[in-house]
Amino acid sequence: MKLLLTTLFICACSLFSFGQTDAITDTTIYEVAESLPYPLFKTCFPDKHSSWTADSMRRCGEMNLLGMLSANMRYPAEAQEQGIQGTVVLSFVVEPNNGRISNVGLLKDIGGGCGQEAIRVLKALDEVGMRWAPAMQGGSPIRVRHSIPLRFKLKEVLPYFISVNGDTIYTNYDTEPSFKLGIDSLIGYVINRLEYPAGWEDSCMTGVIEMSLLINKKGGLQVEDVLDFNNLGLDFQWEAMRLANNMGGMWQAATYQGMSVTASTPLRVVFKSEASGCKTANDVFDRTTVLSDEGSVLAATNKTDEAISKWTEALKLQPDNCEILYYRGTTLLNQNRREDACKDFTRIKEVLGITWFEDVKRLVCGW
């Protein structure tokens, strides 16, 4: 997918939702307490660990929090360029009424944008639902100032990853995988060789199927993933894969530092029937595509409200176009319109039965 999630956290854990307590009238911010606050995670809750003490739950919550913060921080480019590394210390207040945080600031910064990045991630976790058990004093919850140290450490970023099958797949390369005869020939090949599944012509079904092609260092091809955005079905998916598999030997491998390497590249195919009764369906699809593309251009220039408007107009024509639902849902989420975003994400699940962003959906919208 071209549209990236800018404020989401892809993780396997589920956040524990901290319930509302009675209103706390004491607005004092305490610096010390008999019992310090700690983050709440379902994996650390007593029903899963009956023998755990409050200290056990606190340590579990703190370890989970540090892991999430470290996994989701982006090392600032300025800090990388200047070789800055070290420990940032965040300061914040845990509110006893709702388990949220406030007054987020820095006790220690190392520069290069590291402090701001640490603040961004902590605030974003609060926005997506992470809650805290409050500090306690004399048996009552109180507001307390708390701190967390976060270490920024430079490490070498490998240009590849190892797949579950043990393949070395490059994500950074000097030249990308390419169709040997050029992009125009690739477009012509897809248009001329893609066949509408037999027996379905009068259905007038239209849609896009996107595949991820793994091109190995010898130019061999393997279809890795298939996204049927319009739920066209297995016959259409099979035809898309048949077309792709027939391209074996037609691809040039990616290169990295003068050697051929294995890498993936996307391939999108469009299905429209040429049957005489399908003109209206094809026109609707074409208009939907134009509106979707206009929305993507607007989103790329930070005109998010206008982009959402375009996608909404497109979805009036094709309500179950899962690609456009994803674009709109992601943009809504980045505007902190979580409930509206989850409606789009849930609809994708209803239409397709699966999502290609399941971990994100579970974290943001629940199961």
According to DSSP, the β-strands at 160-162 and 251-252 are: unpaired
Query: Could you tell me which of 6, 277, 252 has the C-alpha nearest to residue 124?
Result: 6
Whether residue 110 has pLDDT greater than 60: yes
Tokens 């306690």 -> residue: 136
What is the distance between the alpha carbons of residues 111 and 137, in angstroms, rounded to a whole number?
36
What rounded mean pLDDT belongs to the chain?
Answer: 88
What is the distance between the alpha carbons of residues 203 and 134, in angstroms, rounded to a whole number?
59
Host H or E run for residue 232: none
Full set of structural domains in the chain with CATH = 29-152 (3.30.1150), 160-274 (3.30.2420.10), 281-365 (1.25.40.10)
232-249 confidence digits (pLDDT tens): 999 999 999 999 999 989
67-97 confidence digits (pLDDT tens): 888 888 888 989 988 989 999 999 999 999 9
Of 128 and 25, which is predicted with more confidence? 128
pLDDT at 332: 93
Contact yes or no for 317/282 (Cβ under 8 A): no
What is the distance between the alpha carbons of residues 328 and 307, in angstroms, rounded to a whole number?
8
Weakest mean pLDDT among 98-112, 247-261, 321-335, 346-360: 346-360
What is the distance between the alpha carbons of residues 201 and 199, in angstroms, rounded to a whole number?
6
Q: Residue 94 to residues 88, 116, 224, 303: CA-CA distances in angstroms? A: 19, 19, 45, 35
Whether residue 14 has pLDDT greater than 50: no
45-65 confidence digits (pLDDT tens): 766 667 788 788 888 888 888
Question: What's the whole-model pTM score?
Answer: 0.61
Contact yes or no for 13/68 (Cβ under 8 A): yes
Contact yes or no for 39/64 (Cβ under 8 A): yes
- Rounded average pLDDT over 155-181: 88
Q: What whole-number percentage of the chain has pLDDT above 70?
A: 91
Tokens 């590249």 -> residue: 265
Q: In Å, how far from its chain's centre is CA 243?
A: 29
Query: Could you tell me which of 278, 270, 256, 139 has the C-alpha nearest to residue 202?
Result: 278
112-143 confidence digits (pLDDT tens): 999 999 999 999 899 888 899 999 998 899 99
257-296 confidence digits (pLDDT tens): 999 999 999 999 999 999 999 999 999 999 999 999 999 9
